[in-house]
Amino acid sequence: MSTADLLPPFATSPPTADMFAFPPTRYQGSKRKQAAAIVGHLRDLDYTTVLDAFGGTGAVAHAFKQAGKHVTYNDVLAFNHQIGIALIENDATRLTDAEIEAIGVCRSGVSYTDFIERTFAGIYFADDENRWLDVAVANIRRIENRHKRAVAWFAICQAAMAKRPYNLFHRGNLYMRTAVVARSFGNKVTWDRPFADHFRRAALEANGALINGGGTCTTVCGDAMTVNGQFDLVYIDTPYINCRGVGVDYHHFYHFLEGMVRYDQWPALVDFGYKHRPLTRAPQPWNDAGQCAVAFQDLFERFRHSVLAVSYRDDGIPSIDDLIAMLRRVKARVRVHRGPARPYTLSTKRNTQEVLLIGCD
């Protein structure tokens, strides 16, 4: 039994209508549905500046932005960094209808390469879809405005996930789309919808999510331990490691999205030893059951002068009691909110709970 304060669960009231302006996302571990409740549980605290240290989809950072906070969004992945630029740093710069429609169209005088079509034939998408991606990526890279370019990156990443079984790139399973078999589910309609349609939908959703909450919001891309600055509150939502010691490896699950954003570097990053062409592994302590506890403690120590808000799962490694004990080494008080059961994609466990830990003085 921990000595932390046990408090009411998540989502005791539904999120406000404005919270649903944040775009739907197929990203594993997204806190979109919990974002309003997470920020709501912090409303009694006095804070203005926030670091979202593992920004991911940006859903929680967006909720902080709506609450008028000065938000710094950080993520180590380049494609997530573009999400932060598009939806957190950006207040009002949108893609026009004409820009959306032109994204997959070859332009006169522009030289297009075929890296995706050559490298990923038959793995994730059909040949014509791979050609569309090569063209669209080249056009996005030519967009001069930083915020418009980021909105386009957001949209193409969302489009690519929508067309993937399980919304992941953990294996090459194009056959699930192309096999002529009886189907009892409707995902094939989504998988076969043209990239241009998915891109348009995602771009319009991003356009609709842009707000000026009154605070100044910025983005950085790197290890959470290296983020500079002092923050009143640090929100921490690391990759999750389950009780069997298996972690969620976002770098592996979404390597294709990372490759698109790092298109020039992509050929040198691909691990051709695997049929599904992932990026060369980038070890992180957050995916290692033997290292993550030390990483948590180091992170808590690094931001010991901030309010620490930690999202995790109740069956993870470290355990919730372990995290509480670590927080109590740097904070006088720890509050615990338990959320509803919410399984991850591909998970067979249906009763794990979201937990929000709040360490404060």
User: Do residues 60 and 35 touch, judged by C-beta distance below 8 A?
Assistant: yes
Handedness of CA 93, 262, 218, 354 (dihedral sign): positive
- Cβ-count burial 2-11 (b if 16+ within 10 Å, e if not): bebeeeebbb
C-alpha pair distances (Å), 53 with each of 238, 262, 342: 8, 22, 22
Query: Does a cis peptide bond (omega within 30 degrees of 0) precede residue 14?
Result: no
How far the first Cα of the chain sits from its last, in Å, is 21
Cα–Cα distance for residue pair 150/58, rounded to 1 Å = 13
Residue 155: exposed, middle, or buried by beta-carbon count in 10 A (0-12, 13-18, 19+)?
buried
The per-residue pLDDT for 15 is: 44
The per-residue pLDDT for 349 is: 54
The per-residue pLDDT for 9 is: 53
Cα–Cα distance for residue pair 103/152, rounded to 1 Å = 8
Domain positions in the chain are 1-91+211-246+284-361
The per-residue pLDDT for 3 is: 45
Kindly give the confidence (pLDDT) of every residue in the chain, 361 residues in length, as a single tens digit, with 9 standing for 90 and above.
344 565 555 543 344 445 448 998 888 888 998 999 999 999 999 999 999 999 999 999 999 999 999 999 999 999 999 999 999 999 999 999 999 999 999 999 999 999 999 999 999 999 999 999 999 999 999 999 999 999 999 999 999 999 999 999 999 989 888 887 777 666 888 999 999 999 999 999 999 999 999 999 999 999 999 999 999 999 999 999 998 999 899 999 999 999 999 999 999 999 999 999 999 998 899 999 999 999 999 999 999 999 999 999 999 999 999 999 999 999 999 999 998 766 655 455 557 889 999 999 9
The per-residue pLDDT for 179 is: 83
pTM for this one? 0.92
Cα–Cα distance for residue pair 48/214, rounded to 1 Å = 11
Pick left, alpha or beta for residue 167 (phi over 0 → left; psi -120 to 50 → alpha; otherwise beta).
left
Q: What are the φ/ψ torsions at residue 185 (nearest 5 degrees)?
A: -140, 160
Structure tokens at 345: 């994609």
Structure tokens at 206: 């991003």
Cα–Cα distance for residue pair 343/352, rounded to 1 Å = 7
- Strand 233-236 to 218-220 pairing: unpaired
Tell me the residue length of the chain.
361
User: Do residues 100 and 204 touch, judged by C-beta distance below 8 A?
Assistant: yes
Helix residue ranges per DSSP H, the chain: 35-40, 59-66, 78-84, 97-102, 115-119, 127-141, 146-162, 175-178, 187-192, 195-209, 250-253, 255-261, 266-269, 292-302, 320-328
Domain 1-91+211-246+284-361, CATH among 3.40.395.10, 3.40.50.1000, 3.40.50.150, 3.30.70.20: 3.40.50.150
